[in-house]
């Protein structure tokens, strides 16, 4: 009797070599190669990125999360700050409410968009596409996008608040400085519910250290939510020889009903 | 019918064990605290379907309970994206496969759990990643209280 065995092609382009990247003699990606540059000499931030995660040895106690390949900042964006994020009393009250019901009310649980700067820490890939006039961010979660204008336009005044706000960027030597305003008043920065509000001005400083690593400094000045401005740095790792994979959260969301 | 599965060691152990050390919660697209990672479950049965959808793949397994009735367990897995990057395929588990699943039970639903590992009849195993970075503390019985 014959047993029918389906012949499946390799899953999409997982493992397909990314063309045009620096490689070592054995063909492996050369992660320590020099930062790529665009024809005008600027660092080229283009590529697929994923929040770098601590090694197994660094994953101890409550700093750790069990799920593999998750950034610690996904839980608490201020986890590396000695005293944590400087919450206002309003923020502390918000977070009590947000943590009720085991955190069920997290917008992410309900498949809402991957809002930046939180989106840097989520467990999906982000593709940056850099052109002279615009940096486009594509996020696997809900197939979302964000635009950062590099054409010199000013930030809008009193804009309609949105999930990602409005962003412009300029170069400070080899660092791309992104300024954002117009963020919605009810946004979360992490799973524990750290707020960011409409009063926020967020500054992200993107610096590609080499081919393989990019630092993203996230600075938040939000007097409604925090007693003083603060900043944290998240490290992103390049992802090559693979591809973006669509992840539409509402396709089969079943978790909300599990909370009581 | 339950008799179909009588050769299996059904529900050899559905263990709800308390880990003495605080087990960190697992996180995916949300807190995942609807699962209690102190409520360890091990069930044995037959795969009915591996559902390959976002935000979580799901493995459904027919398990015969202690009363001899078949229950269809719903095991949450990471997203298909995460699983594919870990080497899974959408047909890594097929209907009828005999599996033993270890997981963490939902706080409020007795046959829903988050899967940590799936062992197949040939001895091979698939891991969801929950245990690969930080092995949870082994379950230990609660110490006897001094009289």
Q: Which pTM does this prediction carry?
A: 0.83
Looking at residue A260, what is its pLDDT? 67
- HEC letters along B60-103: EEEEECCCCCEEEEEEECCCHHHHHHCCCCCCCCCCCCEEEEEE
- How high is the pLDDT of residue B6? 36
Mutation for testing the A interface, residue in B19, B21, B22, B24 having most A CBs under 10 Å: B24
Tell me the pLDDT of chain A (260 aa) as tens digits. Answer: 444 444 455 668 999 999 999 999 999 999 999 999 999 999 999 999 999 775 444 444 433 344 455 677 888 899 889 999 999 999 999 999 998 887 889 999 999 999 999 999 998 999 999 999 999 999 999 999 999 999 999 999 999 999 999 999 999 999 999 999 999 999 999 989 999 999 999 999 999 999 999 999 999 999 999 999 999 999 999 999 999 999 999 999 998 888 86
Query: Kindly report the CA angle at A76 between A104 and A209, in degrees rounded to 5?
Result: 135
With a CB-CB cutoff of 8 Å, which residues 177-236 of chain A face chain B? 191
> Which chain B residues touch A123 with a CB distance below 8 Å?
28-29, 79, 82
pLDDT in single tens digits along all 147 residues of chain B? 334 333 333 333 333 322 222 223 334 555 667 888 788 999 999 999 999 999 999 999 999 999 999 999 999 998 999 889 888 999 999 999 999 999 989 988 999 999 988 999 999 988 887 543 333 333 333 444 444
From the CA atom positions of chain B, what is the Rg in Å? 15
State the nearest Cα–Cα gap between B18 and chain A, in angstroms. Answer: 17
Q: Which residues of B touch A (CB under 8 A)?
A: 22-35, 37, 51, 53-56, 58, 76, 78-82, 84-86, 89-91, 106-109, 112, 129-134, 136
Alpha-carbon distance of A217 to A170, in angstroms, equals 15
B29 and A122: CB-CB below 8 Å?
A: yes
Q: Does A36 touch chain B (CB under 8 A)?
A: no
Is A122 an 8 Å CB contact of chain B? yes
pLDDT (0 to 100) of residue A28: 95
Strands (E), chain A: 47-51, 126-130, 134-139, 144-149, 166-172, 175-181, 187-188, 195-196, 201-208, 213-221, 230-239
- What pLDDT score does A159 carry? 97
User: Residue B95: CB partners within 8 Å, gap ≥ 6?
Assistant: B46, B47, B48, B49
**Looking at residue B30, what is its pLDDT?**
59
Torsion angles phi and psi, residue B87, rounded to 5: 100, 0
The reported pLDDT for the residue numbered B20 is 24
Three-state DSSP at A187 gives strand
Note whether B54 contacts A251, CB cutoff 8 Å: yes
Write down how long chain A is.
260
Q: How far is A255 from chain B (nearest CA, A)?
A: 8
Q: Residue A69 in contact with residue A237, Cβ under 8 Å?
A: no
């Amino acid at each position: 009797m014959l047993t029918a065995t389906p012949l499946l092609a390799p899953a999409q382009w997982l493992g397909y070599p990314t063309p045009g990247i620096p490689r070592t003699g054995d063909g492996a990606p050369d992660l320590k190669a020099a930062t790529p540059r665009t024809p005008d000499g600027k660092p080229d931030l283009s590529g697929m990125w994923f929040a770098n995660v601590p090694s197994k040895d660094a994953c101890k106690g409550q700093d750790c999360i069990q799920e593999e390949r998750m950034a610690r900042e996904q839980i608490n964006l201020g986890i590396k700050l000695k005293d944590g994020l400087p919450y206002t009393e309003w923020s502390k009250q918000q977070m009590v409410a947000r943590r009720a019901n085991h955190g069920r009310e997290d917008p992410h649980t309900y498949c809402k968009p991957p809002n930046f700067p939180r989106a840097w820490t989520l467990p999906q890939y982000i593709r940056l596409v850099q052109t002279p006039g615009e940096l486009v961010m594509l996020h696997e979660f809900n197939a979302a996008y964000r635009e950062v204008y590099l054409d010199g336009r000013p930030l809008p005044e009193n804009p309609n608040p949105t999930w990602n706000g409005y962003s412009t960027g300029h170069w400070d030597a080899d660092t791309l400085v992104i300024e954002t305003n117009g963020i919605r008043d009810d946004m979360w920065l992490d799973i524990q519910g750290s707020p960011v509000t409409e009063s926020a001005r967020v500054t992200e400083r993107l610096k590609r250290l080499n081919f393989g690593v990019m630092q993203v400094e996230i600075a938040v000045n939000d007097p409604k939510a925090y007693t003083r401005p603060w900043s944290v740095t998240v490290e992103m790792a390049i992802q090559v020889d693979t591809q973006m994979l669509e992840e539409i959260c509402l396709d089969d969301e079943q978790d909300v009903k599990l909370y009581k | 019918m339950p008799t179909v599965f009588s050769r299996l060691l059904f529900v050899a152990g559905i263990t709800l064990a308390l880990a003495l050390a605080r087990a960190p919660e697992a996180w995916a697209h949300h807190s995942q605290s609807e699962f209690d990672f102190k409520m360890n479950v091990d069930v044995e049965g037959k795969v009915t379907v591996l559902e390959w959808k976002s935000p979580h793949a799901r493995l459904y397994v027919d398990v015969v309970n202690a009363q001899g009735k078949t229950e269809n367990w719903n095991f949450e897995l990471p997203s298909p994206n995460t699983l594919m990057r870990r080497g899974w395929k959408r047909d890594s588990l097929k209907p009828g496969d005999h599996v033993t699943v270890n997981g963490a039970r939902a706080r409020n639903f007795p046959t829903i759990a988050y899967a940590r590992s799936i062992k197949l009849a040939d001895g091979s195993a698939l891991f969801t990643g929950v245990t690969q970075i930080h092995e949870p503390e082994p379950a230990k019985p609660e110490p006897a209280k001094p009289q």
